[in-house]
Structure 1
């Protein structure tokens, strides 16, 4: 799963938590039945994986990964359906696909993610969201400027360093 997750991160330009983090998740949640790893196999190779959590009567889709090979067979649809059935079998009354962008226009880079989740007849629920409490406008503006730089080159540098 972790190998496929790093492929996904490289392709979709996001950072991945450490392997040790996922080992801890496994030890603390999967082995206690509070989470489950789902893997999709095609022609003898794992091509996608997901991780779901259960707490009480609610289930959450937490992590998803897909390889660059055989994307045309769309394994994530089957994985999501399998997780929904698993959650229902565990007595869950809610399955949370988790975050989608608040601006749901087709030009939003995450619109495809929204469309994928909405394809399961998911109900869009808006929670509080993320808000910044600004103590220093100067540093806040500097942070926002640097975030753009980080998203570009620094992320790629850190990812390459992590691999090396």
Structure 2
């Protein structure tokens, strides 16, 4: 599996432009992009879908380098997501053997859906649901066309649709500043494109891709609800695939799906949409933590458990004893700073 866009030089520049402290390191058979994250529960190094390694031995060397960097940066732990580290089916055992612990939640999705773009275009289309294929072939008859932009100023088209979706559904998009900076940084670097569906020249749907030489990621998308009956989002995705194939990319990454055997999962609806284009499921090892400052990591874990308790069913009882909770939080914060 090729390295993710999240482990690329353009992504490092994007994160720096967001004000983050970013490190890129490499060695024999390994490399990583690590972001120094600071939170009220302590600082840590985060390697989104990384580190990248050729095999388990190279991964061990990358982990050593991350541990040393975390100590130098006074980070309490390292958070890794080895999506392309050559760990195979034994990934969980390998990670546990290095002293890593499963993180409380996955930061990036541990399941995704891929489409193989090395197939002939007709075979890619044949793998889709017939309605998707027919929409792509015939939607032009309804006055819908598609264009591709690498002008960062055009990100406003997508932002407008995302605002509408957020207003009418329980959906929280990335901030305007985040996506605008992504466009400003990644588009000139050839690492992002904006795809727009237009009805008689007016935008009705848009999607932003993140790109590496091998893989296109279906990153952010939204459509005008007034034209939902046209289902323009479907041929828009196919257009993204066809363009990626023409650009020489081998994979189209739908970026995150729920398990097929969990129909009540909050992602189930759009996961069915993503699977309707054909393809195959890819499972990653998930998000794991390597404690570096063990007392600091223990304090972080305890603070998180307490926070989850406060958010859970015990909240009314905890509120009644609120004066007792405050000193506990204060002690945890003091321990994290120490």
Q: Which moved more, 1:88-97 or 1:35-44?
A: 35-44
Structure 2 residue corresponding to 1:29, chosen from 186, 189, 195: 186
1:37-48 aligned at under 5 Å gives the runs 37-48=194-205
SS at match of 2:282: coil
Question: What TM-score results when the alignment is normalised by the length of structure 1?
Answer: 0.77
What is the rounded CA distance, in whole Å, between the counterparts of 2:216 and 2:188 in structure 1?
A: 16
From the superposition, tell whether residues 68 and 145 of structure 1 become closer, same or farther in structure 2 (CA, over 3 Å). farther
Tell me the distance in 1 between the aligned counterparts of 2:189 and 2:280. Answer: 30
Aligned match for 1:138, one of 290, 299, 306: 306
The alignment status of 1:53 with 2:219, answered yes or no, reads no
For 1:108 and 1:16, the matched residues in 2 are separated by 19
* Higher radius of gyration, 1 or 2: 2
Higher mean displacement: 130-139 or 32-41: 130-139
CA distance change for structure 1 residues 131 and 74 in 2, over 3 Å: closer, same or farther? farther
- Is the alpha carbon distance of 1:138 and 1:24 closer, same or farther for their aligned partners in structure 2, counting shifts above 3 Å? closer
Displacement of 1:79 after TM fit?
A: 0.8
Distance 1:21 1:141, change over 3 A: same
Mark the CA change 1:144 to 1:56 in structure 2 (over 3 Å): closer, same or farther: farther
> Any idea what SS the aligned residue of 2:264 has?
coil
The alignment of Structure 1 onto Structure 2 pairs a total of residues equal to 146
Q: Determine the C-alpha separation between the residues in 2 that align with 1:144 and 1:129.
A: 24
Which consecutive unaligned segments of at least 5 residues does structure 2 have?
Answer: 1-157, 290-296, 315-338
Distance (whole Å) between structure 2 residues aligned to residue 89 and residue 145 of structure 1: 52
- TM-score, structure 2 normalization: 0.40
Whole-Å separation in 1 of the counterparts to 2:312 and 2:217? 30
Match for residue 67 of structure 2?
none
Shift of 1:63: 0.3
